[in-house]
Amino acid sequence: MSINSLAERPPRTSFSEHVILLFSQKKAPAPAFRYIDPTLSEEQYSIKERSKIFLEREYRKKIWKDLLAQENTRDISPEVLREQYRIYRGAAGIWCDKERTTSISEDVYGIAMSVLHTGKSYPDDFTEDSIVYHYPKTNRPKNTDHGEIEATKNANRFQIPLFIITHSKHNDKLRDVRFGYVVEWDDDNQTFLIEFSETGEIISPPTQSVDEQPFMTYTTSRKTITSSSIFRDAKFRFKVLKRYGPKCAVCSITIDKLLHAAHIIPKESNRSSDDERNGIILCHNHHDAFDDFLFGIEPETKKIIYRPSGPSKGNLKIETDILAPKRNSPHNDALKWRFKEFLREIREPTGESHVVREEIPLGMKSR
């Protein structure tokens, strides 16, 4: 059966037949990278190209379904993953079977098959439905890290799933396996967002940019905050860092471990949102000051104002008169809600609200 006929009718072959078919394909020379997105119009590339993408996706989904059928996604021997399923290569953080996948990616990098998360360097970035996976930074030969990063980006470009390998909670010598898709990457912060897919179905990116989507909030309760906030925070932080860049919005700190993704409408309110436009990047100290209403942000002008009889701009070590993320701005609805709460918090017993504004030097325009 030819590859072209496989594209016209999804093949009904066994797992072993898929392996034989894929390995029997001749490896073509790898030209310069050419973007191919299988979700775009079919006229943009040949049936043969679509078939290779389809086969690779189905090959990996068959492995996942086989693991699920055997109830064998937890506490697995590394040898089984390496020899039987060929989805794991020991200590390699990102593994790519270049022999098979460079003919799909049409570059020298191939498509990542799996990522290994040991939980030692970034334990908080792994949640129940996703992982924020950091780019490799090793002392291996030149371009090795770069090649693995590009192979993982290719998994996103072609919407081909990969396996997420972790150490078992019960036995460090065994491995747990999850299945998912690379949803986004952030070169500034050098991270990937990988979302898990229990069914193996494609997780497609939204058709609209975030700024074109409506700003939505959800009802919260103490119970939901306690049980699920830790699982949302890693993904929220990834999205907020990608939107605004790795810099405190009121000072010059850019050290990753000191930067927080602060909710503007806080999780503790009766309605909140994990929309990245409800976030802002603040350093540890300024996050605490923001939560304590030591300063507020006027929604329209983005001017920073201070609590009456409270610490000044100098005391707080704030270095700007206007909210200054590296790029983009929060949603105005979120800022309006927060500013209203700020005014309520600082309201005098007489019912009047007094705020302290730092004067903006002549020639500076508000954004």
Domain boundaries in the chain?
3-203, 211-357
**Calpha distance 57→61 (Å, rounded):** 6
Q: Is residue 89 scored above 70 in pLDDT?
A: yes
The residues with which 179 forms a beta bridge, in sequence order, are 163
Least confident of 98-107, 112-121, 220-229, 237-246: 220-229
What phi and psi, each to the nearest 5 degrees, are found at residue 352? -95, 150
DSSP secondary structure code for residue 359 in this structure: P
pLDDT value at residue 179: 98
Q: 297 with 290: CB under 8 angstroms?
A: no
pLDDT value at residue 232: 54
Q: Is residue 171 scored above 70 in pLDDT?
A: yes
> If you average pLDDT over every residue of the chain, what do you get?
83
Least confident of 9-13, 69-73, 258-262, 333-337: 9-13
The CA distances from residue 341 to 56, 134, 163, 289, 291, in Å, are: 52, 36, 44, 14, 11
Pick from 90, 79, 74: nearest CA to 168? 74
Q: Is residue 106 scored above 50 in pLDDT?
A: yes
Query: What global pTM score does this model have?
Result: 0.78
Query: What Rg, from alpha-carbon coordinates, does the chain have?
Result: 25
pLDDT value at residue 12: 52
The CA distances from residue 258 to 68, 252, 280, 283, 303, in Å, are: 40, 11, 14, 5, 24
Q: Is residue 23 scored above 50 in pLDDT?
A: no
**Strand 94-96, strand 112-117: pairing:** antiparallel
Region 77-93 average pLDDT: 91
Region 72-79 average pLDDT: 93
**Calpha distance 87→178 (Å, rounded):** 12
Q: Which helix (H) or strand (E) holds 155?
A: helix 144-157
The residues with which 261 forms a beta bridge, in sequence order, are 281
Encode burial over 336-347: b for 16+ CB neighbours within 10 A, e otherwise.
Answer: ebbbebbeeebe
Q: 104 with 56: CB under 8 angstroms?
A: yes
**Calpha distance 259→32 (Å, rounded):** 38
The CA distances from residue 309 to 15, 103, 355, 356, in Å, are: 71, 67, 9, 9
Highest mean pLDDT among 42-46, 145-149, 269-273: 145-149
Least confident of 152-161, 214-223, 295-304: 214-223
Which residues lie closer than 8 Å to 339 by C-beta, 6 or more apart?
296, 297, 298, 299
